[in-house]
Structure 1
C-alpha cells in the first residue's frame, strides 16, 4: 500500500515540477560556484605571479647596484625570513648549473626545467610554471635573468592557496547539500501552490461525474492562469448545464407535442374501426392521418434545421442579397393572407442595403416573422415590414404589428424551442418558428430582439452585418 502511494506521488505534476525547479536551481548554483572557483583560483595564481615578478625585479636591481655577492646574501636572508618551506632561490649559469642557493633540503626534489631555461634565453622574458611536490603541495616557479650570464630560479609554495581552495570546495559541498534540500522544499511548496487550482478543477470534475451538476470550481484572489482556467471551466460547466437543461426541456416538449397528434391519429383510427360506416369515413380518417403526419414531419424537420443551423453544419450559400428587394417580395407573398384577415400589410424601404447570405434561409426567416405577425394580429390591425441601415454599420429588418403583444415574463424565453405564450396556445403552431428565425440570424452573424406591449403589438428587429456599400 505504501509503495503504491509513493509511486502515485512520484507520478504527480507537483513532484515533476519540484524536480525541475530543484534541478534548475542546483544547476544554476553549480555554474555560479564553478565560475567563482575559477575566478578565485586565477586570482590567487596571478597574485603569486605578481609577487614572484616583483622579487625578480628587486634581485635584478640589486645585482646591477651591488653585484652578485649582495644577491647571494639577500637570497639566503629572504628564504630564512619567509620560511625555508615557503620559498627557495637558486642562482644559475645559462647551462643550468647551480652556483648558489638558499637552503634546499625541503626542495631537493625540485629540478631545473631545461625547456623553461631554453625559452627564457630565447625570449629574454621571465618564465613561470607550476610544479607539484606531492598530490596536495604545488609550487609556483619563476625563471628570470638578473644579470649578464646570471639566471634566477625562484620558487614559492602554494600551500596556503591550496588550503584555501580545499576549504572553498568543502564549503561548496556543504552549501550544495543545503541548497538541494532547500530547493526541493521550496520547489515542492511552489509546485503544490501552483497545482492547487488544478486539483480543485479535478475534484470538481469528479463531483460532476458523480452527478453533482451544481458544483463549481472555487476561485482564488490571484489574477493568474489557474484562476482563469477555473473561471473558464465554470463557464463551460454553466454552458453544459444549460445545454443539458435545454435537452431535457426539448425532450419534454417533444414528448408532449408528439403525443397529441399521435393520440388523435390513434383515436381516429380506433373510432373508425369500431364504428360501422360508409367508405367516406375511412377516407376522412386517412386524410386526417396524413394531415397529422405532415404536421409531425414538419415539426421534426424544423427541429433538425434548427439543430444543424446552431451547430454550424448547414452548408450555406454566400449570395449577395439586396434585403430591401427580398423584403418587398416577402410582403407581396403574404399580402393575400393579410387581406383575408382584413389586415393592412405595408412595406417601407427606408435604406436599401446588401448582405452576404443564404437566400432561402433569409426568406424563411422573414416569412416566419410575417406569418407570426399576421397570425396574432386581429382583424383591422396592421403589419409593417421596414428595412433601414443603422448608423452605417448594420442593416436592419423590422417587423412591427398591432397584435395581441407579448407579456414581460414571456419576452426572454420567447425564442426558446417549443415555447408558446399563454395567448398563443389556442392558435395552431409548434413554437419553433422564432427559434428557427433566431438560429438563422445568428448563423449569418446577426442578432434578433423583440420589444412588446401587451394589447398594443410587438416589434421584432433583426440586425445583420452589411456586405458592401451599394453601387450608385
Structure 2
C-alpha cells in the first residue's frame, strides 16, 4: 500500500527517505541501547549476586564453625579430599555428606588433636554435623558440632554485616524448615519483607530487594536480601539517557536522510523541469550536465539523446506535413478553379452542371478535411507556437452564443448561456479557444433533436475554471466514450449524421496544447456533458 492510499496524500521522495533514515536509526539505536542496558543490568546484577553469594558462604561457615570460622586456614572443596580419607570416613560414617574441607592454620593451631596429618572434613549425617580427620596412625578423629552454640556467633556476624552495609541495604534471616524465623536482622520499613521475593519496579518511596536463599543440609535456610532500588534507579537513568541520545540520533538521521534525498532529487527535479518544457512544445531544451551521480548523469544523457531524436522527428514531421499540405492543396485548388470556370459557362447542360457542383462540394470538403488534419498535427507537434494572450472568456462565450443562436432557433432548440457575475479571464490562443468552443457547440447541435436543449455553463473557483457544454442529444455509449477524441472515430449512434470525425480530435489537441483537461459524461438517449478544466494558475 502506498503512502498516498494509506494516508490520503502523496508524500515526496525527500520525506520518504528522511523518514526511512529516521526509522533505520531508531531501530538500530533501540537494538544497540537495549542490548547495552541488558548487558549493564546483567553485569551489575551478577556482581551483586556474587557478593550476596559470598556473604551467604561466610554466614554458612559461621553457622557450621562458630567463632572458629575466622581462625581456620584455607577452605577447600570436597573433591580435594583424598580417596584414603574418604574411605576412612565412609567406614565410620556411612553416607556422610562432606560439605567442605579446610587445612589447619600454620600460625594458630586450634585443634586439640596434634596427631592429625590430613585436612579436616566438615560432614553432615542424619541431622548432625561432624569434624573428621585422619590421624597419623590412620585412625579417624571425630567431633560432633553443636550448631545451637554457634547461633550466638551467627547473630553477631549477621549484625556486623547489617551494620557494615546499612539496615536499609541488606536483610538477613535464618529460617527453620517450616519457615519459622530463627535469627533475623532488623529492617526499619517492612518486617515481612522478602516473604514473597522481590517486589516490582520501585516507585517513589518504595524499596526493592533481591533475595538469595541458601539451603543448609539440615533443612534450614539462610536468606539474604540485597537492596537493588539504587540499581533499578540507575538502570532507569540509563534508559532515560539512552532515550535522549536515541532521539538526537534519530533527528540527526532524519536530517542526513533529508540532505541525501535533496542531493539525489536535485537531478531528478532538473529532468522533470526539462520534461515539462518539452511537454509545452520546446523540444530544443537540453539538460545541463553537472557533477551528478553516475546513475543520474546516465539518465540525463539518455534524456537529452531521446529529446534530440524527438526534436529531429518532429521537424521531419513538420516538413512532411507542410509538403503534403502544399502538394494536396495545389491540385484541389486547380480542380476547384476549373469546376468554377466550367460552371460559369452558359453552354453547360443540366447534367454536366450537376456533376460540376458535386465535384466542387467534394473539393471543398476535402480542403476542409485537409485543413483540419493539418491543424490537429500542428497543434499537437508545436504547442509552443500558440499565440497566448489574456482573453475575456465570458465575452468570448457570449459572442459564441449570439453566433449560434440562429441555428438554435432554426432547430427549435432551447439554447442557454450561464455565466458567473464577474468576468473570467484565461491565458490562451484566442483563435484556438474560439475553435474549441465552436466545435463543441457544433457537436452539441448536430446530435440534439428539435425541441432539445443545449446549455453553455461557465463555473469558476479558486482552483480552476470549468466550461461545461451539455446537450439532450442521442448520447454516447460508455464503450465509445474513451475513443471519441480519436481521429476519424464515429460512434454507431452518430453514423447517420454528417461529419468526418475530426471535430473532437481537434478539441482534444487544443486542450492538450494548452495543458488543460477535458472529460465527457454521457447517458445514451439522454445527452452528454463535455467539461473543459482550466487550472487556476493559468486563468
Q: What TM-score do the two structures reach when normalised by structure 2?
A: 0.42
Structure with larger Rg: 2
More helix by share: 1
